[in-house]
């Protein structure tokens, strides 16, 4: 089956926007973000206290974060600056999950100060964070969360994370029990259990399978250690249909399957709530990278050179990831010319598409590179002196506003010592 991939803006809108905000830029779709978040929240409404903590790293933009927070989402942070970003927009306390690894002491101190719910990545971090709390004249919070790595393969997409045995995240089953005992010794009363075992999973079975593993584990740990589990955190990992032939995971079905696991396993008094930390699923499809065709060259292949590059969207260069491309205004023309669509970095992997069939392109054509809403702008960097682009928002009323300005050369020079 092939789905038509719709762009966020038309050619006419893009031409209008370009007059104020030159390409390349990322544009996000407010209505799409909201409708999708509402569907997630209502699908899990069977679970008391359910909360999606948006993975800030996917799209660290205050306007986007506020849209989600207004719908009832919390945030998931993994660094000091992400914590500070939440604080700046008034998101604190249990609205923040802090899930970091190789975490420096000052980051734990900041997370403790904000009252965030902290997920520990390793057993050795129990004493480490207890020491941080003590040095800051406090104790550990009432509730702490632990990250599990079950070390077993999932029959799902592991291109991004690697197999769990090879992944650097989380602790073993034995270490979880040990961590709980130690944390109880430090006065912690309630616990969360977290795992993130595979990224960008299509189909409807990743969360239900993971939920089964985590629910069983939480139940066993509760019996073994007497721990009171406040929540189970299914983390991120639900995928999006990057390719036209992919189908969007069906969240109502996924939530119903998780519910079935919940009812099967928690048949007694134990009734933890659920959290998720979706990033890609919340934002990916609701962002497009808009770029203009600058040049063509024909050597051994046909190249179309555009004004965006891997510094604006790194996934194709980094993972060979597929991002669909629509030529605005040529949606109905036959895709009968084969191109490599490339950016200007002095890196041969700076290719948005290789051997892609597209309608015949002309200089000045505007391309929409789809699904850039998560891990797109966010992974941007300044290699080759490339500057980060603006981020724009297509609002529900059809207007467009800038939600981050493009960098200028002054930003590039700001950290340099002359």
Ligand X SMILES: *Cc1c(COP(=O)(O)O)cnc(C)c1O
Rounded to a whole number of angstroms, the minimum distance from the CB of residue 374 to ligand X is 6
Does 280 participate in binding ligand X (rule CB under 6 A)?
yes
d(CA 270, CA 216): 11
Among 374, 390, 393, 394, binds ligand X (CB under 6 A): 374
d(CA 340, CA 350): 10
- Indicate the residue among 22 and 162 with the shorter CB distance to ligand X: 162
Phi-psi label, residue 200: left if phi above 0, alpha if psi -120 to 50, beta otherwise: left
180 with 226: CB under 8 angstroms? no
Size of the site for ligand X (CB under 6 A): 18
Rounded to a whole number of angstroms, the minimum distance from the CB of residue 51 to ligand X is 13
Among 24, 164, 237, 343, binds ligand X (CB under 6 A): 237
Does 386 participate in binding ligand X (rule CB under 6 A)?
no
Of 231-239, 245-253, 306-314, 334-342, the window that binds ligand X (rule: CB under 6 A) is 231-239
Rounded to a whole number of angstroms, the minimum distance from the CB of residue 58 to ligand X is 5
Rounded to a whole number of angstroms, the minimum distance from the CB of residue 276 to ligand X is 8
- Indicate the residue among 57 and 404 with the shorter CB distance to ligand X: 57
Does 76 participate in binding ligand X (rule CB under 6 A)?
yes
Does 58 participate in binding ligand X (rule CB under 6 A)?
yes
Q: Is the dihedral of CA 272, 58, 83, 98 positive or negative?
A: positive
292 with 304: CB under 8 angstroms? no
- Restricted to residues 177-196, the positions that interact with ligand X (CB under 6 A) are 196
d(CA 266, CA 232): 12
Q: What string of DSSP letters covers 155-216? A: SS--TTT--GGG---SB-HHHHHHHHHHHHHTT--EEEEE----SSB-SS-HHHHHHHHHHH
Does 146 participate in binding ligand X (rule CB under 6 A)?
no
Among 33, 37, 55, 188, binds ligand X (CB under 6 A): 55
Among 32, 74, 170, 279, binds ligand X (CB under 6 A): 279
Rounded to a whole number of angstroms, the minimum distance from the CB of residue 55 to ligand X is 3
- Indicate the residue among 195 and 306 with the shorter CB distance to ligand X: 195
Of 52-60, 248-256, 309-317, 341-349, the window that binds ligand X (rule: CB under 6 A) is 52-60
Q: What string of DSSP letters covers 85-128? A: HHHHTT--GGGEEEE-SS--HHHHHHHHHHTPEEEESSTHHHHH
Rounded to a whole number of angstroms, the minimum distance from the CB of residue 57 to ligand X is 6
Rounded to a whole number of angstroms, the minimum distance from the CB of residue 347 to ligand X is 24
Of 185-193, 217-225, 279-287, 329-337, the window that binds ligand X (rule: CB under 6 A) is 279-287
- Indicate the residue among 52 and 365 with the shorter CB distance to ligand X: 52
Q: Is the dihedral of CA 340, 343, 346, 349 positive or negative?
A: negative
Does 281 participate in binding ligand X (rule CB under 6 A)?
yes
Alpha helices in 234-346 (DSSP H): 251-265, 280-283, 315-319
The verdict on whether omega for the bond into residue 195 sits within 30 degrees of 0, i.e. cis, is no
Phi-psi label, residue 398: left if phi above 0, alpha if psi -120 to 50, beta otherwise: left
Nearest residue to ligand X, by Cβ distance, number only:
236
Torsion of CA 220, 165, 316, 155, to 10 degrees: -60
- Indicate the residue among 52 and 307 with the shorter CB distance to ligand X: 52
Among 99, 204, 288, 291, binds ligand X (CB under 6 A): 99
Closest CA to 168 of 197, 127, 138: 197
375 with 353: CB under 8 angstroms? no
- Indicate the residue among 76 and 391 with the shorter CB distance to ligand X: 76
Of 39-47, 272-280, 335-343, 350-358, the window that binds ligand X (rule: CB under 6 A) is 272-280
Angle ∠(403,75,243) on CA atoms, nearest 5: 70
Of 37-45, 50-58, 135-143, 172-180, the window that binds ligand X (rule: CB under 6 A) is 50-58
Among 170, 236, 241, 249, binds ligand X (CB under 6 A): 236
DSSP 264: H
Helix 62-70 to helix 80-88 angle (10° resolution) is 60
Could you list the residues that contact ligand X (CB under 6 A)? 55, 57-58, 76, 78, 99, 196, 199-200, 235-237, 277-281, 374
């Amino acid at each position: 089956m092939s789905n038509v991939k719709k762009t966020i803006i038309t050619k006419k809108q893009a031409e209008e926007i370009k007059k104020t905000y030159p390409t390349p830029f990322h544009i996000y779709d407010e209505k799409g973000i909201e409708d999708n978040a509402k569907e997630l929240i209502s699908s899990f409404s069977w679970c008391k206290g359910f909360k999606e903590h948006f993975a800030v790293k996917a799209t660290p933009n205050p306007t986007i974060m506020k849209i989600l927070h207004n719908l009832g989402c919390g945030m998931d942070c993994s660094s000091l600056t992400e914590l500070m970003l939440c604080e700046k927009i008034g998101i604190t306390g249990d609205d923040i999950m802090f899930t970091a690894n190789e975490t420096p002491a000052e980051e734990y101190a900041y997370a403790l100060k904000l009252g965030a719910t902290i997920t520990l990545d390793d057993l050795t971090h129990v004493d480490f964070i207890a020491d941080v709390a003590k040095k800051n004249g406090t104790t550990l919070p009432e509730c702490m969360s632990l990250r599990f790595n079950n070390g077993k393969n999932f029959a799902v997409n592991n291109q991004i994370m690697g197999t769990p045995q090879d992944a650097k995240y989380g602790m073993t089953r034995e270490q979880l029990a040990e961590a709980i005992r130690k944390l109880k010794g430090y006065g912690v009363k309630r616990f969360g259990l977290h795992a993130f075992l595979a990224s960008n999973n299509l189909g409807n079975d990743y969360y239900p399978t993971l939920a089964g593993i985590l629910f069983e584990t939480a139940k066993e740990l509760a019996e073994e250690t007497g721990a009171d589990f406040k929540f189970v955190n299914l983390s991120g990992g639900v995928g999006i249909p990057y390719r036209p032939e992919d189908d969007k995971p069906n969240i109502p079905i996924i939530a119903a399957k998780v519910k079935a696991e919940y009812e099967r396993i928690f048949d007694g008094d134990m009734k933890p709530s659920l959290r998720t930390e979706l990033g890609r699923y919340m934002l990916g499809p609701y962002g497009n990278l808009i770029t203009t065709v600058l040049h063509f060259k024909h050597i051994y292949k046909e190249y179309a050179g555009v004004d965006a590059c891997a510094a604006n969207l790194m996934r194709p260069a980094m993972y060979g990831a597929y991002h669909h491309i629509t030529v605005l205004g040529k949606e109905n023309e036959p895709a009968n010319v084969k191109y490599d669509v490339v950016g200007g970095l002095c890196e041969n992997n700076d290719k948005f598409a290789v051997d892609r069939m597209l309608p015949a392109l002309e200089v000045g054509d505007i391309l929409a590179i789809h699904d850039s809403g998560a891990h797109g702008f966010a992974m941007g960097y300044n290699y080759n002196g490339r500057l980060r682009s603006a981020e724009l928002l297509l609002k529900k009323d059809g207007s467009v506003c800038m939600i981050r300005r493009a960098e200028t050369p002054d930003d590039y020079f700001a950290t340099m010592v002359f």
